[in-house]
């Protein structure tokens, strides 16, 4: 990961939504076109949700899902989309990796309808701290989602339309319990680079190697530790999983080239593996035997989860990777790269990828499979989330199209909801899509 370019400041620079020529720019304020401060950024917070949010019924009548008033702007949605496609700058560590990957890409049919728009919530401001790390949205049920909003970890309930602050890391955070290895003095002003939430457990990772563990059903924080005091200490990814022994564990991937495994029953570091390059993301196979590891190297690897030793290499990407995910079947996995592709692999035969799937604008920064294995979502840095029909060989996709940087994507555990965090000064929000169901018996009543 690019350590020297880490914090996204208030302006997103090359990753800003307002990257269009001044002479064709809009009359109204839109998509981060002014250097707004936080007061300006929260301009919608005092308004009623019903005014600022967009719901499915309104979208069906033609309202823009993000509430963008195109009819009042001097540019059409179609023209602005074209401008974005032409002008968005994909970040590459290896020059021309995006162009080099095109020849292998699978042609997929668009027009899939797997998830339908349900609502866009602008009262929930999703934010990003590092432009390469986009795992800041996590759903625990079809109604409940957790995300970063500045220094706050927020819970949003789509059932009650209420947001609640779960943890604020702007001040001092310290553990309420004493465990060996826990930093009882805690942390101050933690910059959260990555997040993971599962069931009642929330773990936040920070820029200085901080790990903060919280039970959602208890007040305060249970455990704080710093993985490393290395200068290059960013926590790039966290994965929570059930150890075969029955205890809950989590894996932390770090820019210091380390992968660390923690036992949450004892709050102890139990394994620490080191690799030749910074590790940007890891994911564990469903049988917990194999870890997929990707990072600052075009090649990924599969390693033994007990020893950390390499089993196989994943060769084909042309740049650094920041995303990985295992299919529930235990042998299919996917990796996302700055060469603008997601590669799908069969761990039983890694000589070539099953599919190479192409983004429109930039790197594939996060990947999720549904728990039933039917669908896979891959998120670009901005504007596009692609949902593929896995069971039909990735031949068809649903392209979800909006405007804004993507802070994270998450399917609910029951597969019914898909949440997308959108980071933008004016139109920052949380998008919710619900799984389409073919209720044929209803059609017969129409």
- Domain count along the chain: 1
* β-strands 115-121, 54-55 pairing: antiparallel
Q: What is the pLDDT of residue 2?
A: 64
Domain presence at residue 425: yes
Q: Which tokens go with 41?
A: 């950024």
Rounded-to-integer distance, Cα 96 and Cα 351, Å: 24
Residue 129 lies in a domain: no
324 CA to centre of own chain? 11
Q: Is the pTM of this model over 0.75?
A: yes
| pLDDT value, residue 16 | 41
pLDDT for 103: 86
- Residue 347 inside a domain? The answer is yes
Residues 56 and 97: beta-carbon distance below 8 Å: no
**pLDDT computed for residue 255 by the predictor:** 96
Residue 395 in domain: yes
Structural domain boundaries, residue 99: 52-123+322-445
Q: Is residue 406 part of a domain?
A: yes
Contact 250, 196 (CB under 8 A): yes
pLDDT averages per 10-residue partition of the chain, 446 residues: 51 39 32 34 42 88 95 95 95 93 90 97 93 97 97 96 96 91 92 96 97 95 92 95 93 97 93 98 97 98 97 97 98 98 97 95 97 98 98 96 97 98 94 85 44
- pLDDT, residue 181, reads 84
Q: Is 290 exposed, middle or buried (0-12, 13-18, 19+ CB in 10 A)?
A: buried
Asked if the structure places residue 213 within a domain, the reply is no
Question: What pLDDT, on a 0 to 100 scale, did the predictor assign at position 180?
Answer: 85
CA atoms within 13 A of residue 273's CA, in its CB half-sphere: 21
Q: Is 416 part of a structural domain of the chain?
A: yes
Question: Which pLDDT belongs to residue 41?
Answer: 40
198 Cβ contact partners less than 8 Å away, ≥ 6 residues apart? 138, 140, 240
Please report the pLDDT score of residue 59 as a whole number. 96
Contact criterion met (CB below 8 Å) for 17 and 25: no
**Cα(437)–Cα(126) distance, integer angstroms:** 28
pLDDT at 439: 58
Residue 82 forms part of a structural domain = yes
- What's the confidence (pLDDT) of residue 39? 37
CA distance 177 to 221: 8
């Amino acid at each position: 990961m690019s350590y020297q370019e880490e914090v996204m400041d208030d302006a997103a620079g090359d990753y800003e939504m307002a990257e269009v020529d001044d002479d064709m720019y809009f009359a109204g304020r839109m998509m981060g076109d002014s250097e707004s401060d936080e007061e300006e950024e929260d301009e919608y917070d005092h308004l009623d949700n019903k005014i600022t949010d967009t719901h499915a019924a309104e979208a069906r009548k033609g309202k823009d899902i993000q509430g963008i008033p195109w009819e009042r702007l001097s540019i059409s949605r179609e023209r602005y989309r074209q401008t974005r496609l032409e002008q968005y700058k994909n970040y590459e560590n290896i020059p021309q990796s995006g162009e080099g990957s095109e020849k292998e890409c699978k042609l997929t049919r668009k027009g899939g309808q797997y998830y339908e728009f349900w609502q866009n919530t602008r009262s929930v401001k999703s934010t990003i701290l590092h432009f390469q790390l986009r795992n800041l949205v996590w759903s625990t049920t079809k109604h409940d989602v957790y995300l970063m909003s500045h220094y706050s970890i927020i819970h949003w309930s789509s059932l009650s339309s209420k947001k609640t602050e779960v943890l604020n890391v702007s001040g001092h955070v310290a553990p309420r319990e004493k465990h060996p290895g826990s930093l009882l003095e805690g942390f101050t002003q933690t910059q959260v680079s990555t997040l993971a939430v599962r069931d009642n457990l929330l773990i936040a990772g920070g820029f200085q190697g901080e790990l903060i563990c919280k039970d959602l059903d208890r007040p305060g924080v249970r455990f704080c530790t710093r993985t490393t005091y290395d200068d290059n200490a960013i926590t790039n990814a966290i994965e929570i999983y059930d150890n075969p022994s029955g205890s809950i564990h989590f894996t932390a991937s770090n820019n210091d080239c380390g992968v660390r495994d923690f036992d949450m029953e004892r709050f102890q570091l139990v394994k620490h593996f080191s690799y030749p390059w910074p590790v940007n993301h890891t994911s564990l196979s469903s049988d917990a035997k194999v870890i997929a590891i990707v990072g600052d190297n075009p090649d990924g690897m599969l390693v033994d989860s007990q020893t950390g030793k390499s089993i196989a290499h994943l060769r084909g990407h042309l740049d650094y990777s920041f995303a990985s995910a295992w299919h529930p079947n235990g042998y299919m996995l996917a990796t996302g790269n700055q060469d603008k592709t997601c590669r799908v692999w069969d761990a039983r035969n890694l000589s070539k990828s099953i599919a190479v799937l192409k983004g429109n604008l930039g790197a594939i920064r996060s990947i999720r499979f549904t728990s039933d294995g039917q669908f896979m979502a891959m998120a670009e840095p901005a504007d596009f989330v692609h949902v593929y029909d896995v069971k039909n060989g990735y031949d068809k996709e649903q392209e979800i199209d909006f405007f804004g940087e993507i802070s994270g994507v998450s399917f609910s555990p029951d597969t019914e909801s898909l949440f997308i965090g959108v980071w933008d000064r004016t139109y920052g929000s949380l998008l919710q899509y619900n799984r389409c169901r073919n209720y044929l018996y209803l059609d017969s009543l129409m």
